[in-house]
Amino acid sequence: MSFSNPTKSTNPAKKFIQYHGNTGKWTWYDKEVELDQEIQLPFYFVILDDLFTIKGFSDSFESYIYSNEVHNTNELLKVKSFKGGLSIIGYYPDIKLDLKDKGGKYHKSIYALAFDKDYNTELVNISIGGVALGPWIELKVKMNSQSVAIMPEVTDGRKGTVEFKIPSFKTFKIPEEMIEKATKTDKELQEYFKQYKAVKEVDNAEKEIVIDENLSQKADVKREEFVNEQAEEEFPPQEELDDLPF
């Protein structure tokens, strides 16, 4: 926002999608009805950009934790708690131990163009952390040639006395029909990032976005999402690149 351009930079994603490890469901928060809506699987998308952020819950401050989104570890993270009191600024390698002690966890923030069998599209943000992070990293998506599907199948897991469900993903060839749409949408997305990163401090608009993502989370979010982030499982990488099943 500036004198000549007084408009606040608004995140262009239409849905903010997250995974619930205790139920194996992917949901987004619908502000119009003030309820979580479940994503129907399989859910297909083309990755436009890959960032990371910090999320979590602080027992000490009795508050959720959030940060700005960055593309790499050379960008400065500004980590805060919603109720105030917590403020950590630094580069991820330097502050990650402090973040872990405070309850902050690494999450992928994937901006993607979701599509259906008729190639209707929608820009979404997919938060991937906790027990979803392992299979996502193992997927090793080739962004410019592969689309991704969140699959209905889940794997049961356990860490200590806590049980959880591990999601699954699969890669497909990017449909020809999606290439032009993805290119156009990504150009618009990158314009947003230029404005977003020009702001030195996390402003109120950004804070509202993160609050929207967390409005429906319950007190047991720590148990569901963050305590089990390091589940030790082996996930075979996807070797085959199939055509879409429609």
Domain ranges, ordered by start, for the chain: 15-226
Position 9 scores a pLDDT of 77
Three-class DSSP category at 197:
helix
The predicted-structure confidence for 86-125, as pLDDT tens digits, reads as follows 999 999 999 999 999 999 999 999 999 999 999 999 999 9
35, two tokens: 């309820």
Tokens at residue 152, please?
A: 């209905």
Alpha-carbon distance of 240 to 214, in angstroms, equals 36
Query: pLDDT value at position 221?
Result: 40
Residue 67, judged by CB atoms within 10 A of its CB (0-12, 13-18, 19+), counts as buried
Question: Residue 205's pLDDT is what?
Answer: 40
pLDDT, position 232: 31
Report which listed range, 26-30, 56-60, 202-206, is most confident.
Answer: 26-30
Task: Give the span between the Cα atoms of 99 and 65, in whole angstroms.
Answer: 10
Q: Between residues 150 and 225, which one has the greater pLDDT? A: 150
41, 120 Cβ separation under 8 angstroms: no
Residue 20 burial (C-beta neighbours within 10 Å; 0-12, 13-18, 19+): buried
Read off the tokens for 91: 């580069």
- The pairing of strands 15-20 and 121-128 is parallel
pLDDT at 173 over 80: yes
DSSP state of 131: G
Q: Please, what is the average pLDDT of the chain?
A: 84
pLDDT one-digit tens code per residue, 198-245: 874 444 444 444 434 443 343 334 333 333 343 333 333 444 568 888
Q: Kind of pairing, strands 43-58 and 35-38?
A: unpaired
Please report, rounded to a whole number, the percentage of residues in the chain having pLDDT higher than 70. Answer: 79
pLDDT of residue 242: 81
The pLDDT of residue 60 is 87
What average pLDDT does this structure show over 65-91? 94
pLDDT (mean) for 37-61? 96
pTM, to two decimals: 0.82
Residue 164, classed as helix, strand or coil, is strand
- pLDDT of 165 over the 70 cut: yes
- Out of 4-13, 100-109, 146-155, 202-211, pick the least confident: 202-211
CB 82 within 8 A of CB 60: no
Whether residue 176 is predicted with pLDDT greater than 50 in this model: the reply is yes
Q: Please report the pLDDT score of residue 246 as a whole number.
A: 82
- Output the DSSP codes for 90-115: E-HHHHHHHHHHHTEEEEEEEEEEEE
Q: Label residue 168 left, alpha or beta by phi (over 0 means left) and psi (-120 to 50 means alpha).
A: beta
Q: Which token pair is 85? A: 């009191």
In Å, what is the CA distance from 228 to each residue of 50, 87, 232? Answer: 23, 24, 9
Those residues whose C-beta lies under 8 Å from the C-beta of residue 56, and which sit 6 or more positions away, are 64, 65, 99, 102, 103, 104, 105, 222, 226
Band (136; pLDDT cuts 50, 70, 90): very high
Count, residues in the chain:
246
In this prediction, residue 1 has a pLDDT band, given cuts at 50, 70 and 90, of low
